Structure 1
Amino acid sequence: MGDSQGEQNLWVLLRTMTPVLQDHCYGFYSLSAERLAALEVTPLGLFQEPEGVTVIISESQVMQAQLPIVPTWRLITLSVHSDLQAVGFLAAVTTALAQEEISVNAISAYFHDHLFVPADQAEAALACLHNLSASVV
């Protein structure tokens, strides 16, 4: 399943990143392993840290689990298959977003990079990424 080679060329990555804004909103939480096990949720992602397990949960599951309301994030997936060893791709993307004063939490998975941006800035972030991609010649 994970055999194909991803793109490493920065210019190709930027030109063909094809950002897609997902429909759902998400919350980030830090939970103990015991608290997470007690919840009936299926996180989109999780990461073990010394302080606890960071979980990314859809807004609907947040409500279902009766977790406290936190700022919500929208997910933008960069559809290009980027190699995990590609250099400078996320740096260029996050710099462009920073210039528009849009915060971002980036996650690199095996095939794609995923950007969590504040829900109220999601459309602006998407436009910024389309502009960045179009500016690459």
Structure 2
Amino acid sequence: MDGERDLSRLLAALDPELHADRYSISEASKPTLGDGDFAIVREAEGLTLIRPDPSGEWARISLGVHSSLDAVGLTAALSSLLAEAGISANIVAALRHDHIFVQWDRREEALAILRG
């Protein structure tokens, strides 16, 4: 599996990027992504859609580091850092990068923590 697995190297190379769009995380009725939608997640209770939304309450921070899906500790380390500041971290892992959704009003603070 490609990507970095070593936690210390992952943390040293995070390279977080704050996206300009606001996002909503809501229930979806159809299992298809529309143009510009970020992700759809299928759960037993239904579908969750993550998409850009001008009235959305979430900001997306993408990590530039190419992390392996079987890397151990990255999600825990990042969510712990943000939790210490009282910032919710909703993390979506993809094949190459992780994406953290944080409260819109705390996005700059979250970015500063991740850069620190």
TM-score (norm 1): 0.78
For residues 91 and 83 of structure 1, the distance between their equivalents in structure 2, rounded to whole angstroms, comes to: 15
In structure 1, distance between residues paired with 2:34 and 2:9: 37
Q: In structure 1, which of residues 40, 47, 59 is the aligned counterpart of residue 41 of structure 2?
A: 47
The correspondence for 2:112, drawn from 108, 118, 127, is 127
* Structure 1 unaligned residues grouped into runs of 5+: 61-68, 132-137
**Unaligned residue ranges in structure 2 (runs of 5+):** none
Q: Secondary structure at the match of 2:76?
A: helix
Given residue 42 of structure 2, which amino acid in structure 1 is its aligned partner?
Q
Could you tell me how far apart the structure 1 residues matched to 2:5 and 2:53 are? 34
Moved segments of 4+, more than 6 Å: none
What residue in structure 2 maps to residue 7 of structure 1? 4
Whichever structure has more helix as a proportion of its residues is: 1
CA RMSD of aligned residues (A): 1.7
Give the whole-Å Cα distance in 2 for the aligned partners of 1:120 and 1:56: 18
Distance 1:31 1:6 in 2: 31
* Alignment coverage as a number of residue pairs: 115
CA distance in 2, matches of 1:91, 1:19: 16
TM superposition score normalised by structure 2: 0.91
- CA drift of 1:32 comes to 2.4
Aligned partners of 1:41, 1:111: CA distance in 2, in Å? 22
Percent of aligned pairs with the same residue? 37
In structure 2, which of residues 48, 67, 74 is the aligned counterpart of residue 89 of structure 1? 74
Q: Does 1:72 align with 2:57?
A: yes
Q: Tell me what 2:91 maps to.
A: 106
Q: C-alpha separation between the residues in 1 aligned to 2:103 and 2:113? A: 14
1:41 is displaced (CA, Å) by 3.6
Secondary structure of the structure 2 residue equivalent to 1:81: coil
- Structure holding more strand per residue: 2
Q: In the aligned structure 2, how far is the partner of 1:32 from the partner of 1:5?
A: 34
Based on CA coordinates, which of the two structures has the bigger radius of gyration?
1
